[in-house]
Chain A
Amino acid sequence: MTAILPPAERLWWKHPLDRVEGTWIAIAFVWCLVMFFMMVWWHAYGRQNLSTETYKTTPQLFSEKAQRMVDQYTVRTETDLQTPVVAPPAGSDVYLIARLWSFWPILELEKDKSYRLHLTSMDYNHGFSLQPANINIQIVPGYEHVITVTPNQTGTYSVVCNEYCGIGHHMMVGRIYVK
C-alpha cells in the first residue's frame, strides 16, 4: 500500500490507472515525441548542426598540412610569439592546431565566405569555444574534425580552450579575425 511495504494487490501490474495519471503520461509522451521529432527535423532543416566529418590523424600529418597552409597564406605575425596570421582563400581548407597551451595559427577569414575548418589536438583533449559567438566543440587528439564555417559577422573572436588540459589551461586562448 505505501511505497515501503509490499503492494496490497499481488497483481500490482493490474492496478488501474488513475485518470489524472493517464492524462499526464499521454501529455508527457506527446511532448517527448515532439522533442524527438524536433531534433530530427532540426537536423534536417536547421542550420546549426555539428559536422560529423572526421578522420583519424597523427600530430605529424596534421602539423605538416597546417604548416603548408601557414607557409602559403601568412599575411603578418602577431603577439610576442610571432604567431602567424593566416588569411586563406575562401572555400579552402583551414587548419587550426590546439596544443599545450595555444591555438595556432591566428586565422583571418572573410565574412559570408565558407571555409573547411580542420580541428585537432597535438596532445591532450582541448575545447574549441568561439567567443562571444558561443560555439563549443570538443577537440580530441588523434581525430581530425572537419567543420564548414561561414562567418556572418565581422569582428575579432576569441577561441577559448574549455576542456581542462593541465596547468596552463586557463591561458590557452586563440584568435580569429573576420573581415
Chain B
Amino acid sequence: MSNATTYRTCPRSGLQFESQAEKLMIANAVAAVVFLLIGGILAIGVVLTRWPSIHWLEADTFYQVLTAHGIDMLIFWIIFFEIAVLYFCSSTLLRCRIATPKLAWTAFALMVIGAVVNNVAVYQGGSSVMMTSYVPMMAAPSFYLGLILFAVGALIACFVFLGTLVIAKREKTYQGSVPLVTFGAITACIIAVFTITSGAIILVPTYLLSLGVIDSVDPLIYRTIWWAFGHSSQQINVAAHISIWYAVAAIAFGAKPMSERVSRGAFLLYILFLQLASAHHLLADPGMSTAWKVVNTSYFMYFAVLASMIHGLTIPGAMEVAQRAKGYNNGLFEWLRKAPWGNPVFSGVFISIIGFGFLGGISGVMMGTEQLNMIIHNTIYVPGHFHATVGGRHDPVVHGADVLPDSGAVPPRDDQSDAGPLAALPVRPVDVLLLPGDDGCRHAWCVTPALGHGVQRQRAGLRMAGCGLPDDGARRHRRHRRDCRWCDLHLHHRWLDPVGQAPRYGRPEQRDHADPADCTDLGRADLWLDGVCCAGHVRAGHGVPGVLHPLLLHQLEIPLHLWGLLSPEDRSGTS
C-alpha cells in the first residue's frame, strides 16, 4: 500500500530518513508543539489569575482555562511528541521504511480530530472538569469522545511503531539487537499501550454515562483506572525521555552506554513496575488497604525507582567516560566544565536532567510515600512536582528539533579529487570514500562501503596535521588562556581560512596557528572505525579533545576545517 520508499540522509547528523516516516515525524512533532503553544498561552491566564494582586479571570473562565491547559500539556503535547519519537526510534535508527504509512496518517488524523474536539468542548464552557474529570462531575459527551478518538489514534500509532520493528527485523536492516534507544522506545510503547487501554476502559463507560446510556460509574473505580491512564501517560514520557537522553549522549558526545546489560535491564524494570506509580494518587483515598498501598507504591514502585537511579548514573556516566577519553581528565569535574554548554542539544538535556530527573523524580518519589502523601496530597506541592517534570521535558523539543530531520538539506558536493585525511589512514585507505560537506560547515564525510562485515575494530592513527577537531561548544568561545582554536598555545598569527570563507567556529579576528601543523599534539586524532555491521555502516570514535560534531551514525562525519588544513606530508599520503 505504500509508495516506493525513498530515503534521504541528513547532511548534519548522518541519519537516514525515510520520506514517509520523516513527514509523519514532522507532522506529529509540529502538532505536539502547537499544543504546547496553546497550553503555554493558557498558562498565562492561569498565572495571572493565581497572582493575587492581578487576579485576572473570573472563576468560570479560570477553571475553563485551567482544564484546557492541563489536558493540552499533559496529554496532547506529550503523546503527540512521543509518537514522533517512536517513529524516529524505529524508522530512522533502524534505517527502514515505516509500516503502513496510510494507517499512520489515519492515526495522526484521529489524534488531531480528537484533540480538537476535546478542546472545543472545553472552550464551549460546559466541560470545565479539569484534566482528571472525576465522575460524577460530568463534562459534555464530546469531551470524552475527543479523548477516546485521540487515544484510539495513539494506540494505532503504537502498533505502527511495532510493525516498523517487524519490518526492520524481516528486512534485516540491522544485525543483532535493536539499539538501546530503540529498546527504550519499545519500553515507552509498551507502557503507552497499557496507558491507552486503561484510558479506554474508563473513558468509554464515562462517555456512555454522559450520553445517559448507563446510570453510574463508581467514583473510586474511576479514580483507580483513570490514574492508570493519567499517570501512566507521564510514564510513557519517562521512558521516551530517558531514551532521548541516551540518544543525545551518543550524538553530542559520542558516548556509549557504560553497560548495555545494565541500561537495558533498567528499562525492563520500567516495563514491569513503572505504571504502578499511578497508585500513589490513591494514597489519601478511602477504601484502599494498607497492603495495597505498601505493595504498589513501595515494594514494587522502588524497583522502578531503582531503574531511574541506574539511568541517573549511566547517562551522565557515559558522558563522563566519553569526555575523559577526549582528555578532560583534570579533577573531578573538568569533563563537565568542558562539556559543550553552548550546544543546545547538550544544555537542553542538562536542564532536563536537573528539572525532570532530579527535581521531578525526587519530588515524585517523596509523594509516593504513604505518610508523606498525607501532607502533600492535592497541595501546591503537586503542581510543583509535575511542572518540574513536564517543564523539565521541554528539552525534547529543543534537541528533538536537532535530532529530527532538518529540511532544506542539500546533497553533499562530490569532491573526491583529494584523498584528504584518509590518505593517512594506514588501513586500506582506498576503501574509504571521502566526501566534503555541502555547506558552510564544510563537513567531510567518509563512508566505508568496502569495509567488510565482521570488522571488529580497526584503529587508524589519523594524523590530522596537528589540528584538533573543534567542537562548537566548549572551545568555541574561547575567552581565556588559549588563543589558538586548535591547541593550547597563545599565538600571534591571524587565522586565515584556507577556502577564503569566514570560519564557522570562532570569530574571524581570532588568532590561530596559521598552519595548524604547528599546533601541539592535542591535535592528533586517534580515529577508530569499528563494529561494521553492514556496508556503509561504520561506528567511529576518536581521541580528539572536543566533540566530533555532529557525530555520525552510519557515516563518519568530520567537521572540517580539517579538510583544507592537512599538512603537505599528510596530503601526500603515507600508505
- The interface of chain A, by Cβ under 8 A from chain B, is 1-10, 12-18, 20-21, 24-25, 28-29, 31-33, 35-36, 39-40, 42-43, 46, 48-50, 52, 54, 119, 123-125, 127, 129, 134-145, 162-170
Contact = CB atoms under 8 A, between A and B. Distances in A.
Interface stretch (B218-226, B462-470, B501-509): B218-226
Nearest to B58: A167
B258 A21 contact: yes
A7 B301 CA distance: 29
| Most chain A Cβ neighbours within 10 Å, of B128, B134, B255, B303 | B134
Interface string B364-382: 0100011100111111000
Given A48-B371, A167-B63, A4 B220 contact: no
19 contacts: A2-B179, A2-B254, A3-B247, A3-B250, A3-B263, A6-B175, A6-B176, A17-B261, A20-B258, A39-B371, A46-B371, A48-B374, A52-B286, A52-B289, A125-B137, A164-B129, A166-B63, A167-B128, A169-B63
Interface of B: 59-60, 63, 93, 128-130, 132, 134, 136-137, 174-181, 218-220, 223, 246-247, 249-251, 254-264, 282-290, 294, 297-299, 302-303, 305-306, 309-310, 313-314, 317-318, 365, 369-371, 374-379, 530-531, 533, 539, 541, 551, 553
A14 B174 contact: no
B314 to A, nearest CB: 7
B49 to A, nearest CB: 10
Given A4-B553, A6-B177, A140-B286, A14 B261 contact: yes
A21 B318 CA distance: 11
Contacts of B218: 142
Contact of B259 (A15, A28, A169): A15
Contacts of B283: 50
Given A3-B255, A138-B286, 18 more contacts: A1-B256, A1-B531, A3-B318, A7-B260, A8-B530, A9-B260, A12-B177, A15-B261, A18-B258, A32-B302, A39-B369, A40-B294, A50-B284, A119-B286, A123-B136, A124-B136, A125-B137, A129-B378
Nearest to B255: A2
A147 to B, nearest CB: 9
Given A6-B176, A18-B258, A123-B136, A162 B379 contact: yes
Contact of B261 (A12, A119, A144, A170): A12
A12 B250 contact: no
Contacts of B134: 124-125, 163
Nearest to A39: B298
A1 B378 contact: no
| Most chain B Cβ neighbours within 10 Å, of A15, A123, A144 | A15
A50 B259 CA distance: 42
Nearest to B250: A2
Given A13-B261, A142-B218, A36 B310 contact: no
Nearest to B533: A6
A1 B530 contact: yes
B548 to A, nearest CB: 12
A5 B539 contact: yes
Contacts of A3: 179-181, 246-247, 249-250, 255-257, 263, 318
B186 to A, nearest CB: 14
A172 to B, nearest CB: 12
Contacts of A142: 218-220
A2 B298 contact: no
Nearest to B298: A39
A63 to B, nearest CB: 17
A125 to B, nearest CB: 5
Contacts of A31: 309
Contact of A18 (B259, B309, B539): B259
Contacts of B305: 32, 35
Contacts of A169: 63
Contacts of B219: 125, 140-143
B262 A140 contact: no
